[in-house]
């Protein structure tokens, strides 16, 4: 699957946040998007997913050559796009398993319920998610790390073709970062999904092999390169004009 973002301009509450971003993500590719706070990374991620309060004023988002910018979020998810949320919503009263089961049905995963349960159990173990979390309400009362891990669990269950991970490493301890990174890579390898990883820290990249690194500033991608950019950023900062 091919995701093409072409000269995308996005407004939130009348203010332009994303100011002409272009990006292409192919099957199996790992892309990393970095940049200072407020540079528009999360807005870009939400716009790709179709957040109803964001307005695309110019440009387009193409999936396998077809524009998806008019599609609702659920329609984009059904076509294989997944967004890991920086701050996942808590919904007390909605059971984790009920939610996961509903979501996997919605995106068309047709494995039997028994297979689904097995997949959840196996992935939870790999992610070191406490067993009792699956019996609780969606993200309700979860720690920051638990939320991040259950987002990756959702990615594993929904098996997207394009996964956008918005800071999956923030708030995680060293061990958890490794667990999350290794699981993301494993899921990606299994599904051959294209990946856009948004992060502030290079630590997670020690466990991944991104070929493409993009630096965003003030709504635009201002630098691009390979993993070698990380060392430069670590040493010299973002160095904006």
Partner 1 sequence: MSYADFVNEATQYYQSLPYEGNDLYKKYSVSIPLPEKYGTGPDGIDSFVDLISEKTRIKFDAVITDSSAKSLNGMIRIVKAEETDDRVRESKIFRSVESKLAAYVNGHAQYFVLIEMPKGSKEKFDILFANSGSLSVQIIVTLQEGSGLRLSEIYASNSREGSTVSVMHEISAGRSAEVELNALHNENEKTSVLNLCKANAVDGARINANYIYCGGSATKAVGILDSHGHSSRIDVTEFAYGSVSQNFDLNTIILNSTPYSIADLNSGVVLDDASKCMLKGFAKVSEMAKGANSRITERGILLSKDAHIDALPDMAIDYSNEVKATHSAATSPIDEDALFYLTSRGIDEEKARKLFVTAFIAKYISRIDDPVIKEIAMSVMLDKLDTKAFGIISDITPRNIWMGGSNKR
Q: Specify the residue for token string 């502030």.
A: 200
Helix axes of 96-106 and 144-158: crossing angle, nearest 10 degrees: 30
> Minimum CB separation from partner 1 for residue 152, in Å?
14
Residues 64 and 2: beta-carbon distance below 8 Å: yes
β-partners of residue 91 are 138
Residue range at the interface with partner 1 (CB under 8 A); choices 17-25, 89-97, 186-194, 205-213: 89-97
Burial of 197 (0-12, 13-18, 19+ CB in 10 A): buried
Residue range at the interface with partner 1 (CB under 8 A); choices 81-89, 165-173, 211-219, 229-237: 81-89
> Minimum CB separation from partner 1 for residue 12, in Å?
13
| Pairing assessment for the beta strands 162-166 and 194-198 based on DSSP bridges | parallel
Nearer to partner 1, 99 or 207 (CB): 99
Distance of alpha carbon 214 from alpha carbon 29, whole angstroms: 13
Give which of 214, 159, 163 is closest to 21, Cα–Cα.
214
Tell which one of 66, 92, 125, 192 touches partner 1 (CB under 8 A): 92
> Under DSSP, is residue 151 helix (H, G, I), strand (E, B) or coil?
helix
Distance of alpha carbon 209 from alpha carbon 237, whole angstroms: 21
**Which parts of 182-211 interact with partner 1 (CB under 8 A)?**
none
Tell which one of 106, 118, 141, 211 touches partner 1 (CB under 8 A): 106
Tell which one of 69, 73, 185, 203 touches partner 1 (CB under 8 A): 73
> Minimum CB separation from partner 1 for residue 94, in Å?
4
Nearer to partner 1, 102 or 206 (CB): 102
> Minimum CB separation from partner 1 for residue 237, in Å?
33
Angle at 83 (CA atoms; ends 26, 191), nearest 5 degrees: 45
Residues 43 and 54: beta-carbon distance below 8 Å: yes
**Which parts of 23-62 interact with partner 1 (CB under 8 A)?**
46, 49-53
> Minimum CB separation from partner 1 for residue 53, in Å?
7
# of chain residues touching partner 1 (CB under 8 A): 31
Tell which one of 23, 33, 34, 77 touches partner 1 (CB under 8 A): 77
> Under DSSP, is residue 18 helix (H, G, I), strand (E, B) or coil?
strand
* Dihedral sign computed on CA atoms, order 156, 1, 181, 23: negative
Distance of alpha carbon 153 from alpha carbon 122, whole angstroms: 10
> Minimum CB separation from partner 1 for residue 232, in Å?
34
**Which parts of 134-163 interact with partner 1 (CB under 8 A)?**
137-138, 154, 158
Query: Applying CB under 8 A, which residues contact partner 1?
Result: 46, 49-53, 72-74, 76-78, 82-83, 85, 88-89, 91-94, 99, 102-103, 106-108, 137-138, 154, 158
């Amino acid at each position: 699957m091919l995701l093409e973002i072409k000269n995308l301009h996005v407004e939130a509450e009348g203010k332009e946040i994303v100011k002409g971003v272009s990006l292409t993500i192919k099957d199996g590719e790992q892309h990393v998007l970095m940049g200072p706070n407020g540079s528009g990374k999360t807005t870009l991620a939400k716009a790709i997913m179709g957040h109803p309060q964001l307005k695309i004023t110019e440009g387009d988002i193409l999936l396998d050559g077809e524009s998806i910018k008019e599609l609702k979020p659920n329609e984009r998810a059904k076509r294989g796009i997944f967004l890991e949320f920086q701050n996942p919503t808590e919904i007390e009263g909605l059971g984790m398993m009920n939610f996961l089961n509903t979501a996997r049905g919605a995106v068309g995963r047709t494995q039997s319920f028994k297979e689904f349960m097995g997949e959840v159990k196996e992935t939870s173990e790999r992610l070191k998610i406490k067993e009792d979390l699956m019996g609780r309400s969606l993200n309700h009362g979860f720690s920051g790390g638990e939320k991040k891990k259950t987002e990756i669990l959702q990615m594993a269950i929904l098996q997207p073709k394009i996964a956008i991970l918005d800071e999956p490493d923030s708030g995680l301890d060293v061990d958890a970062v490794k667990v999350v990174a290794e699981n993301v890579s494993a899921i990606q390898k299994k599904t051959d999904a294209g990946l856009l990883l948004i992060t502030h820290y290079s630590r997670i990249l020690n466990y991944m092999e991104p070929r493409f690194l993009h630096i965003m500033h003030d709504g635009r991608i201002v630098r691009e390169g390979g993993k070698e950019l990380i060392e430069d950023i670590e040493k010299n900062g973002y160095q904006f004009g």
